[in-house]
Amino acid sequence: MRPARALIDLQALRHNYRLARELSGARALAVIKADAYGHGALRCAEALAGLADGYAVACIEEALELRNAGISAPILLLEGFFDSSELALIDQHRLWCVVHAPWQLAIIEQARLQQPLNVWLKLDSGMHRVGLHAAEYAAAYRRLKACGQVGEVVLMSHLARADELDCSRTEEQLALFNQARSGLPGAISLCNSPAILGWPQLPSDWVRPGIMLYGATPFAGAQPQAAQLRPVMTLESRIISVRELPAGEPVGYGARFVCPRATRIGVVAMGYADGYPRHAPDGTPIRVDGQPARLAGRVSMDMLCVDISDLPQAGLGSRVELWGGAVAASEVAQLSGSIPYQLFCNLKRVPRVYCGV
Ligand SMILES: *Cc1c(COP(=O)(O)O)cnc(C)c1O
């Protein structure tokens, strides 16, 4: 069997969830959209059952996968419904629903629901993707309250730059949010992972941790709260071939790496078809049998090469960690011009193996 796999530590996931709750002092929806950022939504939801206050996903397809597997906790649809036909299913499966646009309001007003809908009314406080304008927010709130279809209304917005700890944009967004919601009763929800970790002064009744659950930092540099996270995914494989090459010999496609000296190269069963970033540069850290080593040459579809010249004990069958406890996914991401979110979501082909159940 091909040795590439992703180990998923569910105990670390629970630790990170608890940290989100402790830091915020709020209830927390575990964001498990996009198959829990590549970690497996159902397994992650099950691992957090009895602990998480609820879950958040991107669309009804993701929510129904959880409901059909017996997950009964609250599930929030982060973009609400995409057309009116979804509303009956939302009602039937007791899903919570973001409302971010006037056309969604109109559909709710015309619906005949079995039970009061739980709405998260989203303000565009400066991200400028979705959300109601500040000037229409209070009126939308009142329409929801008046239409007879809606129970609780949570007041929410989303932060664009909370990962930049010295940027004033987060405070500007908070000010607009507070202005738009003034006089409106209801729980509030602003915080994603960088806000939970880095902006403890933001008010919260509900937080929405995503990337931090998986143990990756959303920040470009070191940050004390993020240092308490435990990585959930270890992407690993083994060396399947060894080459001893003299100085001057090229390795891999396009001869991007040329041996600067006599070099031992380990060939690892891991490539961009598994989700390892093709743009990782020479020198990207890789652990071989727990020792530091470096990527050598272009990543190909099914294999990549690592310089093991300084690791005489390493060879055929050596265990290789691409990211996890020793190599931070965020470091590999940064070197590759990406973010850990994308690395995790790109994971494919490798089997996921769960531990800490
Ligand atoms: C994805 C998402 C989150 C989680 O963001 P992280 O940066 O991963 O914590 C929170 N809120 C909304 C609205 C989202 O879409």
User: Are 125 and 195 part of one and the same domain?
Assistant: yes
Confidence of residue 357 (pLDDT cuts 50, 70, 90): confident
Chain-centre distance of CA 13, in angstroms?
A: 12
Q: Is 301 annotated as a binding residue?
A: yes
Asked if residue 128 lies in contact with residue 109, where contact means CB atoms within 8 angstroms, the answer is: no
pTM: 0.97
User: Are 255 and 185 part of one and the same domain?
Assistant: no
Terminal C-alpha separation, the chain:
24
Task: List pocket residues of ligand 1, CB cut-off 6 Å.
Answer: 31, 33, 78, 158, 192-193, 208-212, 218
* CA gyration radius, the chain: 23
How many angstroms separate the CA atoms of 47 and 317, rounded?
Answer: 32
User: Are 85 and 165 part of one and the same domain?
Assistant: yes
| pLDDT digits 0-9 by tens, 146-201 | 999 999 999 999 999 999 999 999 999 999 999 999 999 999 999 999 999 999 99
Query: Structurally, how many domains does the chain consist of?
Result: 2
In a domain, residue 54? The reply is yes
User: Are 184 and 269 part of one and the same domain?
Assistant: no
122 in catalytic set = no
What's the CA-to-centroid distance between 20 and ligand 1, angstroms? 13
In a domain, residue 225? The reply is no
In a domain, residue 56? The reply is yes
| pLDDT digits 0-9 by tens, 97-130 | 999 999 999 999 999 999 999 999 999 999 999 9
How many angstroms separate the CA atoms of 200 and 202, rounded?
Answer: 6
User: Are 252 and 140 part of one and the same domain?
Assistant: no
| pLDDT digits 0-9 by tens, 231-256 | 999 999 999 999 999 999 999 999 99
261 phi/psi in degrees, rounded to 5: -160, 180
Average pLDDT, the chain: 98
In a domain, residue 1? The reply is no
Final residue of a domain: which of 218, 246, 264? 218
Beta strands in 14-141 (DSSP E): 27-31, 54-57, 75-77, 96-99, 117-123
Domain that holds residue 199: 10-218
CATH label of the domain that carries residue 109: 3.20.20.10
User: Are 205 and 304 part of one and the same domain?
Assistant: no
CA distances from 301 to 63, 136, 271, 305 (A): 32, 50, 5, 12
Final residue of a domain: which of 164, 193, 218? 218
**Atom 15 of ligand 1: nearest residue by CA position:** 78
Selecting among 17, 33, 137, 276, the annotated active-site residue is 33
Final residue of a domain: which of 159, 192, 218? 218
In a domain, residue 227? The reply is no
253 in catalytic set = yes
User: Are 202 and 62 part of one and the same domain?
Assistant: yes
CATH label of the domain that carries residue 348: 2.40.37.10
Q: Which residues contact 62 (CB under 8 A, 6 or more apart)?
A: 32, 33, 34, 35, 41
DSSP structure string for 133-167 = -HHHHHHHHHHHHHSSSEEEEEEEE--SSTT-TT-
**Amino acid symbol at 219:** F
Alpha-carbon torsion angle 6, 9, 14, 18, nearest 10: -90
Q: Which of 84, 88, 37, 85 is nearest to 62 (CA)?
A: 37
User: Are 161 and 53 part of one and the same domain?
Assistant: yes
User: Are 209 and 258 part of one and the same domain?
Assistant: no
User: Are 17 and 163 part of one and the same domain?
Assistant: yes
Q: What is the pLDDT of residue 277?
A: 98
What's the CA-to-centroid distance between 156 and ligand 1, angstroms? 12
Tell me: pLDDT of 290 over 90: yes
Q: Which residues contact 85 (CB under 8 A, 6 or more apart)?
A: none
Q: Is 129 annotated as a binding residue?
A: yes
Please identify, by atom number, the ligand 1 atom nearest to the C-alpha of residue 78: 13
What's the CA-to-centroid distance between 346 and ligand 1, angstroms? 17
